[in-house]
Amino acid sequence: MNRIDVSHESIRASLRNHIAYLDKEIGSLRKQIATQITDDPNLTMKRDLLKSIPGIGEATISAILAELHMFEGCDKVEKVVAFIGLAPRQFISGSSIKGKPRLSKIGNARLRKALYMPALVSIQCNPIIQTFYHRLKENGKNGKVIVCAIMRKLVHLIFGILKSGKPFDANYTPYCA
């Protein structure tokens, strides 16, 4: 849209037509993705499970289902977190130099991008994430660290829900023997 405002009057109509065409194509692709998910009973069941998580929307669900092999092929959530690139990486050189840990970012950038906005939305509407957010905030963590931790927490929730086949339950407490 910025190009329309600064472009010459003679090409504005062409830019508007191109934007309309791209919007139409995006809508068509979204319909194809929705149809693909709806036509497969397994994907439909998993979509319904993922919809139960507050803060996860259709775009994120589509991205997760596109990479579903990763969730199904891993037996531990830590492997999924590492695959997505949300695991912290330590900077250690010998015995004297230790830097701040950062995200490894080695992994699936599409899923990292797909989980960013749901992490922010979850702070507002997901009771488990809200509690986690307030605890991190009270411990003095900065915003980027908190968002990355919430993205990891969402991966844990997604993994647990897909593996168990049970929808999100804000009152769930794990059984401890």
Residue 177's pLDDT band, with cuts at 50, 70 and 90, is very low
DSSP structural state of residue 87? S
31 and 60, same domain (yes or no):
no
Contact 171, 73 (CB under 8 A): no
Contact call for residues 75 and 53 (beta carbons, < 8 A): no
From the list 67, 66, 64, 62, the residue with the least C-alpha distance to 34 is 62
34 and 100, same domain (yes or no)? no
Range of the domain at 30: 8-39
> Of 29-38, 81-90, 105-114, 116-125, where does mean pLDDT reach its minimum?
81-90
Q: Mean per-residue pLDDT for 63-75? A: 82
Same domain, yes or no, for 151 and 96? Answer: yes
Same domain, 35 and 104: no
Domain membership flag for residue 170: no
How far lies 79's CA from each of 10, 40, 115, 134, 142, in Å? 54, 27, 17, 27, 25
- Give 32-44 as a DSSP string: HHHHHHHH-HHHH
pLDDT at 98: 63
98 within some domain: yes
One domain, residues 84 and 130:
yes
- 4-15 pLDDT, tens digit per residue, is 777 788 888 888
Predicted confidence (pLDDT) per residue in 136-146, tens digit: 999 998 888 89
Q: Which two tokens stand for residue 32?
A: 């194809």
Same-domain pairing of 57 and 124 = yes
In a domain, 125, yes or no: yes
The count of structural domains within the chain is 2
Q: pLDDT digit string (tens) for 92-134?
A: 566 656 666 666 677 788 888 999 999 999 999 999 999 999 9
Task: Check if the beta carbon of residue 12 is closer than 8 Å to that of residue 4.
Answer: yes
CA distances from 74 to 9, 41, 81, 83, 134 (A): 55, 22, 10, 10, 30
Return the structure tokens found at 106: 């080695």
* Cα 31 from Cα 36, distance rounded (Å): 9
For residue 95, the model assigns a pLDDT of 64
Q: Is residue 157 part of a domain?
A: yes
Same domain, 16 and 48: no
In a domain, 173, yes or no: no
User: 74 and 17 share a domain?
Assistant: no
Output the pLDDT for position 102. Answer: 66
Output DSSP code: residue 97.
Answer: E
Distance from first CA to last CA of the chain, Å, rounded? 58
Same domain, 138 and 106: yes
Instruction: Look at 175 and 136; give whichever has higher pLDDT.
Output: 136
* Element of type H or E holding 75: none
Same domain, 100 and 77: yes
171 confidence band (pLDDT: 50, 70, 90): confident
pLDDT band at 41 (very low <50, low <70, confident <90, very high): very high
